[in-house]
Amino acid sequence: MIVTVSGWLYIVFSLLALVGFKTLHGASEKLAALASITFLFVVGVGLLRRLNWARWLTLGMSLLTWTLGSLVFFWQIVWFFRVSALFRHSFGPAMWVVFLIVVALCCAYIWLNFRLFEHLNSDDGRLEFDAPETETHAVAKSTALQIAWGLLSTLLLEPGLFGIGRSSNTDYAATIEALKRLESERSVPSRETVNASVERARDVERRRQANESALREAEQAELAAAREQQAATESMHRVVEQEEDRGRQRVAVANRTRAQEDFQRKIRELVDRRVRDRSYTDTQFETDRQALQRELERSWDTSAGTSPVAYSESSRQPSSASERTSSAILKCRDASGAVSFTQGYCPAGTTLVESPPTN
């Protein structure tokens, strides 16, 4: 089973190597690559057909693969980690996944060559390939042949390793230098990038300042509108209060006028009663008049209390002697000696009689 798997792998590897054959330019490189591809293909076919010469060639190739190949594989892993340390920003998760897949395949291939070498070098392997009993030192001879073929192929593919022509190490060093330069350019922003970043930052700052200015203007406009609304409301309230005050004043004036008219009417009634009724004495008349006067003053006080305009006591008192006389009740006597009471003046043909003082 392991022989069959190895034979098919050699055939597949030879076919895959044809893909990279087009990238070679030199005649020696193409010749060495074509010889290696043909060698792998022929060995794979020989293993599938269980030919002894294919077994003999595979002994040395499988031994070198799992010994020297393991060392080369370990060196490649170290090289990969060195490169990843230099260019840590360029290795993403996908690159590490590919690296793990390649490591797994290489480990499986090394293990497969180890098991293939053990089987081909065992008695079962000799019996399977019908190896002659006279075969001696097959492993050493096959290994020596593979080493010689490897040196020849390396000389043709990499003549620089032997001091002939250009070595691939030079290209490798140039590649590393180019990668370092690219990484430094990526890590250090260019002047254009810095200028663009500064310009974007300035643009953002200008927009922020413009937004703040617009917001302040909107707030000021709202405050002004609120103040205007408040002023209009207060003005309307003042107008309403003034109208209410005027209404209360008109009501108070009307009430005072009615009270004054009632007072005058009642005084006239008292005077008429005094004239008609001889039993109605001056003392009773004066008492009733004072009661009416107090009632009039109470009605004025009530009117003043309901009106926002407070009338002072001096405004309710006569301001001069003539005014007091015009509002007082006078005692008059005619030529026959009859006495009459009038308000403010004595009629013609009568004389003023001194009236007793009133409170």
Q: Which of 108, 133, 157 is the last residue of a domain?
A: 157
20 and 112 assigned to the same domain:
yes
Tokens coding 347: 């009629």
271 contacts 329 by C-beta, under 8 angstroms:
yes
Q: Is residue 50 part of a domain?
A: yes
Nearest 5°: phi and psi at 356?
-65, 145
Nearest to 32 by CA among 151, 143, 166, 169: 151
For residues 86 and 149, membership in a common domain is answered with yes
Q: Is residue 183 part of a domain?
A: no
Please tell me what DSSP assigns to residue 349.
T
User: What is the reported pLDDT for 319?
Assistant: 43
Choosing from 157, 172, 187, the residue where a domain stops is 157
264, 356: one domain:
no
C-alpha angle 62-158-16 in degrees, rounded to nearest 5:
55
283 and 341 inside one domain: no
The reply to whether 286 falls in a domain is: yes
User: Is residue 179 one of the residues assigned to a domain?
Assistant: no
Cα–Cα distance for residue pair 1/7, rounded to 1 Å:
10
Residue 146 near residue 58 (C-beta atoms within 8 A):
no
Q: Are residues 144 and 272 in the same domain?
A: no
State whether 260 and 331 are in the same domain: no
- Same domain for 337 and 306? no
Q: Are strands 329-333 and 339-343 parallel, antiparallel or unpaired?
A: antiparallel
Q: Where are the beta strands (DSSP E) in the chain?
A: 329-333, 339-343, 351-353
The tens-digit pLDDT sequence of the chain (359 residues) is: 888 888 888 888 888 887 776 666 667 677 777 888 888 898 888 888 888 888 888 888 888 888 887 888 888 888 877 777 766 655 667 777 887 888 888 888 888 888 888 888 888 888 888 888 777 788 888 888 888 887 877 777 666 554 544 444 555 556 666 666 665 665 555 566 667 778 888 888 888 888 888 888 988 888 888 888 888 888 888 888 888 888 888 888 888 888 888 888 888 888 888 788 777 888 888 888 888 888 877 777 665 554 444 333 433 444 444 444 445 677 777 766 677 776 666 776 677 776 544 43
Which residue reads 């599938």 in tokens?
Answer: 48
Q: Residue 153: CB partners within 8 Å, gap ≥ 6?
A: 32, 35, 36
Same domain, 267 and 150: no
Residues 202 and 339 in one domain: no
Residue 319 within a domain = no
* The pLDDT value given to residue 321: 44
Among the listed residues 309, 316, 312, the one whose alpha carbon sits nearest the alpha carbon of residue 246: 309
Q: How many domains does the chain have?
A: 3
What distance, in Å, lies between the first and last C-alpha atoms of the chain?
151
| 168 in a structural domain | no
How long, in residues, is the chain? 359
pTM: 0.41
Q: Hey, what amino acid is at 177?
A: E
Contacts of 128 (CB under 8 A, 6+ apart): 3, 50
Whose tokens are 């010749």? That residue is 31
Residues 280 and 332 in one domain: no
Reduced to 3 states (helix: H, G, I; strand: E, B; else coil), residue 329 is strand
Cβ distance 116 to 72 under 8 Å? Answer: no
Whole domain around residue 231: which residue ranges?
195-311
What is the Cα–Cα distance from 195 to 200, expressed in whole angstroms?
9
Q: Does 331 share its domain with 298?
A: no
User: Residues 206, 81: one domain?
Assistant: no
SS3 353: strand
Could you give the CA distance from residue 246 to residue 244 in angstroms, rounded to a whole number?
5
Name the residue with tokens 């922003």. Answer: 189
- Is residue 199 one of the residues assigned to a domain? yes
Does a structural domain hold residue 213? yes
CB 64 within 8 A of CB 147: yes
